[in-house]
A and B are shown apart, each in its own frame.
Chain A
């Protein structure tokens, strides 16, 4: 029983990370209508920011891990936001009126550029991420072992998601985002600065990806330039599962994928770790492509 509960915690922890990344995918899809393949690699850059800055910041904060972790996370969020906005301005904006396939190809191109560029700049071999989040095992009376790691991951993710929710539903900028996601043209006509809204979307999405990266690397400390591929894919699948364009859906989807992955690798076989997500993807696309919480996209005739 306690093992089960442990798996649940692990699953929710992993799921929270996927959720954070998925939110980035879903926001960009909601506002721009395409899948930002490069998102997973922005996540990867966040991890490397943490790798390089961690050892620098840690001594400055008197070795207080949580504080350092927070600073590193903020720094990564800033760097990734800049990266995300730059990518949008340079690679996606010129293609806004073009057929979707063109942007898709460009996004994949950017993704490859970051991956191979990362291998050039950082070196292809895996590196060990510094410890920025205290990882202590708490054992309670019923032999249940909970790692503080997981708790912090879940708590941080929750806080970030709540902040995002606040921004999207309780601020003017957030309302503007929702308007643009609903209908580009009308939003523009109402005086909303579409470009600014889109940039904000990328800032938010990339920040969350960066935070997710720091959390992920704290739990799985081996990082390398290709580390964004699978988490990115699974986060994307989470977004589709939850209903792409739907924020709550992305969070729920992330949890489902995280829990499923943890349970399957824990109770069935670790070999299926990545295949599971693909399987879920095919199933959704075949039976319910609009996701669990749909966002109706019917074409007006």
Chain B
């Protein structure tokens, strides 16, 4: 009797959890849906051509994201130029050259730690190191150097993953033909791993585009009525512009913020989509 009871109770648990699990999963998706619908309904009508080509203004209806988009593009350009070579070479070194040595192990622990450091702390580092000590001021270059340090762990880790996936037989074939280690690395291993490396770079890019806190800490301006022309110029970015509009009490600026968010989300999701597409294609190829 009691055994039957226990048996039917666990059957009931099973059915109940099937429903609870489904409800929780669907709820998470619905929350994402609500977020997107809320933002699109608030900001979609504000998006027009003049929103893209207007300077920021005291009047919400005349404000645009031209300087924010320009500042963001330049910032990301410099960030990538700085972080890309260092990140890829470091990743290649750790996976291909220093696999078993103590230096590589130490660096690995170190990178795991860096990946967990809050971005606002990178802001404090950039403020002291680049803005004040290197006397770069709150310039594009100071921002790019700060963001480069922030995304370096992402690029290194994904480069390592990509190189790990390259089959050993390719390397052996290259060595067999008398190639040196660097020839093998640069002409066989890196080209085969390119899809995976590229995926990591795009994801790092998407991360850099969405960053706000470290840039606020290094003193990126919230009001920039000009397009930066060189690495020494002051700048603003789209997330900072959105933050500025969000913290205003007037409803018109909230509409602007929502419209800015739609643009930011489209850029971010597009980049993530491209990254996933490249990764899937590359993984198929890697399974020879």
A binds B: no
Residues of A within 8 A of B (CB): none
Residues of B within 8 A of A (CB): none
